[in-house]
Structure 1
Amino acid sequence: MSLRPSTSHWGAFSAAVNADGRVRVVPHPEDPAPAPMLGNLTDTLHHPTRVATPAIRRGWLECGPGPDPARGHEEFVAVSWDEALDLLATEYRRIRDEHGNQAIFGGSYGWASAGRFHHAQSQLHRFLTMFGGFTSSRNTYSNGTSTVVLPHIVGGATDVLRNGSSWPTIVANTDLLVAFGGVPQKNVFVTPGGVTRHHTPGFLAQLGEKGVDVALISPLRNDIPASLNARWYPIRPATDTALMLALAHTLVVKGLHDNAFLDRYCAGYEEFERYLLGVDDGVPKNAAWASAITELPAADIVALARRMASVRTFITITWSLQRIEHGEQPVWAAIALAAMLGQIGLPGGGFGHGYGSMGDTGDIGPDFRVPYLSSGINPVREFIPVARIADMLLHPGTSYDYDGTVRTYPEIRLVHWAGGNPFHHHQDLNRLRTAFARPDTVVVQDPYWTATARHADFVLPATVSLEREDFGSGRRDTHLIAMHRVAEPFAKARDDHEILAGLAARLGIEERFTEGRSPRAWLEHLYESWRKQLLDKGFDVPSFVDFWWTGEYRLPAPQADRTLFADFRSDPVAHRLPTPSGKIEIASARVRAFGYDDCPGHPAWIEPSEWLGGPRAARFPLQLIANQPSTRLHSQLDGGAVSQAAKVTGREAIRMHPDDARPRGIAEGNVVRVVNDRGSLLAGAVLSTELRQGVVQLPTGAWFDPLPQGSDAALCVHGNPNVLTADLPTSRLSQGCTGQHVLVEIERYDGTPPPVTIDRPPRVIRR
């Protein structure tokens, strides 16, 4: 039984299918730190939740399209591919003719297959573009707030998020790493498109071996590897901005800030300093002020500021910090603090964003685009910020602010989703269920009966990566991997391209969509077009036939030494930033002119509505941190062996401090009910002193498993934290996701808890 090459968002591997149908996986031989999540692939192909046949919700099939609160509660009817695509083509024509293309929402997200051709988002968007266009989404749940605010501060987001200082540069030159949100090693195994060689765990080990000082600013001790020389500052959640302001205030009053750097490279510092000193509001943002907010000792804040000013200091903030109310502020404040230290552009100094949030941040792989499928140019210019989908469906015609503009939510009649699971990513899932009842028709292409598929009208079974041919490579990956087919498609599943090609044929756009190519012909065409570009640049690239036979192509070697904004520091005139001033904008006149009270023109402390220092905490006294899981990618393969092994009593594990569990009568392994006024969930208790008291931690991604209609439908029996989180934007500037934090109460669940049913597909009847 020969192993065949492939790759995933969590790394390259080779695979084969055993006689019992289970997948055998071997990590890539050059990977120094293979991702544990590869173990979830074992049960991929024949999991009980695989969608076996096209299915249509019974109510839609019998009554036709229209809003329906039964969506998500009804049984499905198995149909043939011809019937499903014929009916869907008729509905597409009706929507376009009666309501226009802007009434179609192409709701695909980018985390489906790691393959560059069978990339569900690209395939769907290409099809919808050929059909005349669609309303799209912009930005991501992961870092959508930063994507909007960074251009106002440094002129763009790409350099900060993709081209930050490299780990070898940090290891060689940094004396003090100040890590807001830490550098969670669990996240570095994941990158869109995959990582063949996971370098980051090794670089973190080198930091520890070298003895680099680390200041861990987080309520969670395990947000940094235990091997590092870290001092833990167990900050109260959502107060990082207050700490940054106090550190900056200390630099000012102690005369430790770099005025020469601020004068030459920055704009708006004087306005920010007035705010720090409390000139206008009468509130100096000093260490004593911040201590009352953060619950960190004032003396520790002053000492940390002094230490930062005395050595080469690198400030990093995770993406998690901007996934809260006013998430723009910690990003902006961290950059302002780094600017005051005057080390931006120096090796080992300055700031970074996303170290420990993604596997390619700080990585040393090459930086050029691999072959990909073009989606074309969408003729419909309508879009929404991605985290505002429920608002759009619930409130068509309502206006909202976004990055200095006033926009209006379109009225969506048809939602088509291929790749992604909004019932994982989105907040306040009971509100999202109401929103999903509003369109006339919801279409989902998916290999599995996820909660999103269960809330659809049309469910079209898609293949998984192991059931098709492709090639994959991540950002800064070292290899382009040939993804060979390992198994035949499950039951009646088809790949996304074949599904959409069949629909395109019925709508008269098949030739435009496929260009007459099969998937294998597309792979060869895309590869050879890309190869020609590299050959013209002098690279030695094998033919497609040789690449496919070999199974991989090692991409040209990168330059490991990389410092963010080094060119700007060397010559701020020749390498001016694309901001209005050409400099780092510590205060932005443009943002100030927007007039947003929830995002002023400079970094500021704005009290969130859900934090332990606010009045809501009297009812819900525990701060739940809904961070990324360590056993899966988002909600992908939650039924896999690695993810399931981490469950407690079959439910997602929630970590609590023993001093919070004891007065509630909760012991290790108990089933607990986590509740607030939006909903509730059941989880399995794990007690730990590795988080501060008053904080509980529950990872995202447990498949949403609400009780049936007529029961306590607001209860998720499996432990998805997004039944509790608020569907509120970070601010009017970015309209980003705020799903990282939520206030809750927890109680022991006595009696027999309802069973977890995620491995039981909805009823599918045959006519």
Structure 2
Amino acid sequence: MRLTRRDFIKTAGAATGSLAITSAIPMPAWAEGPAGGAILTAGRWGAMYVEVKDGKIVSSKGALPKTVPNSLQQTAPDQVHTTARIKYPMVRKSYLENPGKADGKRGNDPFVRVSWDQALKLIHEQHSRIRSSYGPSSVFAGSYGWRSSGVLHKAQTLLQRYMSMAGGYAGHTGDYSTGAAQVILPYVLGSVEVYEQPTTWPMILEHSQVVVLWGMNPLNTLKIAWSSTDEQGLEYFHLLKKSGKSVIAIDPMRSETIDFFGDSATWIAPNMGTDVAMMLGIAHTLVKKGLHDKAFLDKYTTGYPQFEEYLLGKTDKTEKTAEWAAGISGVPAEQIEKLADIFAGNKTMLMAGWGIQRQQYGEQRHWMLVTLAAMLGQIGTEGGGFGFTYHYSNGGNPTRVGGVLPAISAQIAGGSSAGNDWAVSDAVTSIPVARIVEALENPGGKYQHNGKEQTFPDIKMIWWAGGGNFTHHQDTNRLIKAWQKPELVVISESYWTAAAKHADIVLPITTSFERNDLTMTGDYSNQHLVPMKQAVPPQFESRNDFDVFADLAEMLKAGGKAVYTEGKDEMGWLKQFYDEAQKAGRAQRVAMPQFNAFWQQNKLIEMRKNEKNEKYVRYAEFRSDPVMNALGTPSGKIEIYSKTIEGFNYKDCPPHATWLAPDEWKGTADKDQLQLLTAHPAHRLHSQLNYAALRKEYAVANREPVTIHPEDAKARGIADGDLVRVWNARGQVLVGARVSDGIKQGVICIHEGAWPDIENGICKNGGANVLTADIPTSRLANGCAGNTSLVYAEKYKGEAPKLTAFEEPPIVTA
């Protein structure tokens, strides 16, 4: 691709500094005008301009105007030119000498550089052997993780497209983000809900009187989106701050969001893992004072009487009073009772994050919050009710009308019915994503999931593309041990992550700045269509996943490449996707030029506002007519008590929202133990960008920071800036102390996502999952429970070991 200096659109008002937002609806993002020199692209952190000099990216910045800055948009140079890049195809030395053997050396063996032809031939031979010997269920291609923003270069989808052609594979269900909530909520609401558009922000800004931020930190999490952020969520939170409305933030830590609101918000810090108890105390107060909406409960819900019997202690002889809740949550009973008065006496929007359900018995958290919202009787009203996506991908930004890009599929067009004699099988079996280690440890074992008995596959091959399981999975040391069991592990990656260092074969893959693609901004708004233009050539010997799997498809059978690509190259696919979006856009009166003109213009396209969508209220239709607009539950109503779940007879997931004390929490801690909070970091996306220069913004003594309360620090002789060893029976990490009163006493925070860097039994980089328990939320959802861990902490007195997380492993000649 020949890159030239082209016109691009400059942001209105951006040249004079921060944009002033003066109305309830953020102003249009773009105003035309020449600026010269920059290449328009996008990432999960939004549309960006990238500056290139002498074949290198030298800077990047956001392309949309904003009031709240986004540090992640500055990182393009680091992403492409970091020393952590994988430069060439690599094979683990012992594996190259003796392919197909699980020798227990993954992670402790040097690598050998090979050619692409050698690497692909070796993969093809071993993949074919394993598939023919053990069947498709032995090949795990349930590769999981954040993907490229683009609609073509989606690593997991491209991998599974190839594996479908090969005859099927073992896949995964669910995700780490919302594993518990996305399984329980369909039983309660008939919808997965955690990925749905909530009541829009214009409705909240006009009608809500009280906004509750329960376990969410949007100032961090709205820097990103699954596709690409439209950046409007943070602008709406800015308007909320200016509105004078009552904001209540419930979180064990004074997050960046709480600091952002300052005196405009009330911070309440419960003990970790006690959200259900606190909500039950509020619910009990509502009943005691007659503030619950009996008419709403009678008309729109089922099972409330059974729940109320539990609430009042008639079923377990424990009344869930505010005093009872205070003893568990650490929040004073008077404050819990006051919250009940405030919630019931005002139009209240309960916004909840996902971290509260990433705990043992996590299913109960979101179920109880919906139950509480139902008792308030405001679901389906303008500005009342609940929402689970205001902190994610700009939920609440009204959906635009226009063209929406389709994306490449794991299925080949037409399949065998169209004349292709390929076995297009998709996943032949699937496991809950957070149970991968359990599957490796217990092949053929039986387990319960969502009401059914299932069987773990006997996994002999793992191919992970586009994700970093060694950072997002719990109990890293247990994972490393289980990871030795398969006969082949292939990692497709751009960087030397811990997963890549524990592979047999490593393939160097391009970053999004080294290829062409398209994306939409806003997973709920679809606000912009953005060209993701290649800024620099592929670095070293990196290749696009699309091309790698196309070549492997040809090895399956002559003509396989043509089947895999459907006869289209990169730009051919992008033109097809654009043309489909253009057809829909023009039908909605959105001006969209022909593809070639669009690509040359270096401009994004903003979709049209829609008045009806601006006024969208979640569950308004259900509220207006619950018969004609019945929910997808068995009763058609909100199920506060689920007879279906009752039938599963799971002790760890009762048929209504229930307080279940976790195995590891304040109530089981000894006097020296602390609860570990693994919150989302401010300056990276989970593990992405851990190597970037932004690290200087948060690292303490070049380590991941640990936030600790002054009293907890004093008791352990820890001062601000000290190196600290944090440990439990699962492992130990080295972190840097940040002493702050902005965290609940008895709780420490190590942000998730630091790359594991284990030497002599200690993670030198502070990887939080070295400490977290790999247990299921329950056997209903089998979600991850990364926020249920007790740890010890002490000042580290040894010599600080050298950090090697971002260095390439030893490389030798064959």
Q: TM-score, normalised by structure 2?
A: 0.91
Is residue 523 of structure 1 aligned with residue 557 of structure 2?
A: no
Matched with 2:44 is 9
Is residue 120 of structure 1 aligned with residue 167 of structure 2?
A: no
Looking at structure 1, the residues matched to 506 and 725 of structure 2 have their Cα atoms a distance apart, in angstroms, of 32
Matched with 1:630 is 682
Matched with 2:721 is 669
Deviation at 1:537, TM superposition (A): 5.7
- Which amino acid is the alignment partner of residue 170 of structure 1? I
Kept after mapping to 2: 8 A contact 1:7/1:194: yes
Secondary structure (helix, strand or coil) at the match of 1:523 reads: helix
Matches within 5 A, 1:254-269: 254-269=289-304
Matched with 1:647 is 699
Matched with 1:506 is 555
- Which amino acid is the alignment partner of residue 771 of structure 2? L
Looking at structure 1, the residues matched to 107 and 216 of structure 2 have their Cα atoms a distance apart, in angstroms, of 39
Matches within 5 A, 1:89-488: 89-158=124-193, 160-196=194-230, 198-222=231-255, 223-224=257-258, 225-227=260-262, 229-356=264-391, 358-366=392-400, 369-376=404-411, 378-474=425-521, 475=523, 476-488=525-537
Looking at structure 2, the residues matched to 635 and 719 of structure 1 have their Cα atoms a distance apart, in angstroms, of 12
Matched with 1:532 is 583
| CA offsets 1:489-518 (integer angstroms, 9 cap, x no match) | 111110111111111111122222111221
Is residue 70 of structure 1 aligned with residue 75 of structure 2?
A: no
| CA offsets 1:730-753 (integer angstroms, 9 cap, x no match) | 001000011124211111111311
Looking at structure 1, the residues matched to 42 and 737 of structure 2 have their Cα atoms a distance apart, in angstroms, of 34
Looking at structure 1, the residues matched to 672 and 146 of structure 2 have their Cα atoms a distance apart, in angstroms, of 33
Alpha carbons of structure 1 residues 419 and 50: separation in structure 2 relative to 1, 3 Å: same
Deviation at 1:179, TM superposition (A): 2.3
Alpha carbons of structure 1 residues 523 and 405: separation in structure 2 relative to 1, 3 Å: same
Secondary structure (helix, strand or coil) at the match of 1:673 reads: strand
- 2:648 aligned residue (594, 614, 617): 594
Kept after mapping to 1: 8 A contact 2:725/2:794: yes
Secondary structure (helix, strand or coil) at the match of 2:650 reads: coil
- 1:660 aligned residue (685, 700, 712): 712
Secondary structure (helix, strand or coil) at the match of 1:632 reads: coil
| CA offsets 1:361-416 (integer angstroms, 9 cap, x no match) | 22224377422111117443310111111111111111111111111100011101
Looking at structure 2, the residues matched to 125 and 248 of structure 1 have their Cα atoms a distance apart, in angstroms, of 46
Secondary structure (helix, strand or coil) at the match of 2:75 reads: helix
More displaced 10-residue stretch of structure 1: 636-645 or 434-443: 636-645
- Which amino acid is the alignment partner of residue 541 of structure 2? K
CA RMSD of aligned residues (A): 1.6
- 1:489 aligned residue (524, 535, 538): 538
Deviation at 1:285, TM superposition (A): 0.7
- 2:614 aligned residue (526, 550, 560): 560
More displaced 10-residue stretch of structure 1: 225-234 or 40-49: 225-234
Alpha carbons of structure 1 residues 83 and 480: separation in structure 2 relative to 1, 3 Å: same
Deviation at 1:613, TM superposition (A): 1.2
Looking at structure 2, the residues matched to 157 and 175 of structure 1 have their Cα atoms a distance apart, in angstroms, of 27
Name the count of aligned residue pairs.
757
Looking at structure 2, the residues matched to 233 and 461 of structure 1 have their Cα atoms a distance apart, in angstroms, of 47
Kept after mapping to 1: 8 A contact 2:241/2:261: no
Looking at structure 1, the residues matched to 555 and 683 of structure 2 have their Cα atoms a distance apart, in angstroms, of 41
Deviation at 1:209, TM superposition (A): 2.0
| CA offsets 1:316-369 (integer angstroms, 9 cap, x no match) | 21100110001111100110111011100001111111332x132222243774
- Which amino acid is the alignment partner of residue 710 of structure 2? P
Matched with 1:698 is 750
- Which amino acid is the alignment partner of residue 451 of structure 1? A
Looking at structure 1, the residues matched to 213 and 454 of structure 2 have their Cα atoms a distance apart, in angstroms, of 36
| CA offsets 1:217-236 (integer angstroms, 9 cap, x no match) | 21112253334622222111
Looking at structure 2, the residues matched to 35 and 327 of structure 1 have their Cα atoms a distance apart, in angstroms, of 31
Deviation at 1:620, TM superposition (A): 5.3
More displaced 10-residue stretch of structure 1: 524-533 or 397-406: 524-533
Matched with 1:544 is 595
Structure 2 unmatched runs, 5+: 6-36, 412-423
Is residue 581 of structure 1 aligned with residue 635 of structure 2?
A: yes
Is residue 678 of structure 1 aligned with residue 678 of structure 2?
A: no
- 1:52 aligned residue (76, 87, 92): 87
More displaced 10-residue stretch of structure 1: 486-495 or 644-653: 644-653
Is residue 613 of structure 1 aligned with residue 664 of structure 2?
A: no
Kept after mapping to 1: 8 A contact 2:38/2:50: yes
Deviation at 1:22, TM superposition (A): 4.4
Alpha carbons of structure 1 residues 466 and 96: separation in structure 2 relative to 1, 3 Å: same
Kept after mapping to 2: 8 A contact 1:25/1:38: yes
Kept after mapping to 1: 8 A contact 2:662/2:788: no
Kept after mapping to 2: 8 A contact 1:118/1:470: yes
Kept after mapping to 1: 8 A contact 2:140/2:171: yes
Secondary structure (helix, strand or coil) at the match of 1:45 reads: helix
- 2:799 aligned residue (738, 746, 752): 752
Matched with 2:21 is none
Secondary structure (helix, strand or coil) at the match of 2:548 reads: helix
Kept after mapping to 1: 8 A contact 2:590/2:607: no
Matched with 2:417 is none
Looking at structure 2, the residues matched to 174 and 723 of structure 1 have their Cα atoms a distance apart, in angstroms, of 42
Looking at structure 1, the residues matched to 64 and 393 of structure 2 have their Cα atoms a distance apart, in angstroms, of 18
Secondary structure (helix, strand or coil) at the match of 2:56 reads: coil
Q: TM-score, normalised by structure 1?
A: 0.96
Looking at structure 1, the residues matched to 662 and 404 of structure 2 have their Cα atoms a distance apart, in angstroms, of 40
| CA offsets 1:406-465 (integer angstroms, 9 cap, x no match) | 111000111011101001110000011011101000000001110000010010000001
| CA offsets 1:684-724 (integer angstroms, 9 cap, x no match) | 111111111111111111111011xxx32xx1000010000
Alpha carbons of structure 1 residues 499 and 588: separation in structure 2 relative to 1, 3 Å: same
Kept after mapping to 2: 8 A contact 1:53/1:461: yes
- Which amino acid is the alignment partner of residue 514 of structure 1? T
- Which amino acid is the alignment partner of residue 89 of structure 1? H
Secondary structure (helix, strand or coil) at the match of 1:339 reads: helix
- Which amino acid is the alignment partner of residue 518 of structure 1? D
Secondary structure (helix, strand or coil) at the match of 2:666 reads: coil
More displaced 10-residue stretch of structure 1: 91-100 or 263-272: 91-100
| CA offsets 1:247-271 (integer angstroms, 9 cap, x no match) | 1111112111111101110000010
Deviation at 1:110, TM superposition (A): 4.2
Kept after mapping to 1: 8 A contact 2:55/2:536: no
Matched with 2:766 is 719
Secondary structure (helix, strand or coil) at the match of 2:247 reads: strand
Deviation at 1:190, TM superposition (A): 1.0
Alpha carbons of structure 1 residues 685 and 20: separation in structure 2 relative to 1, 3 Å: farther
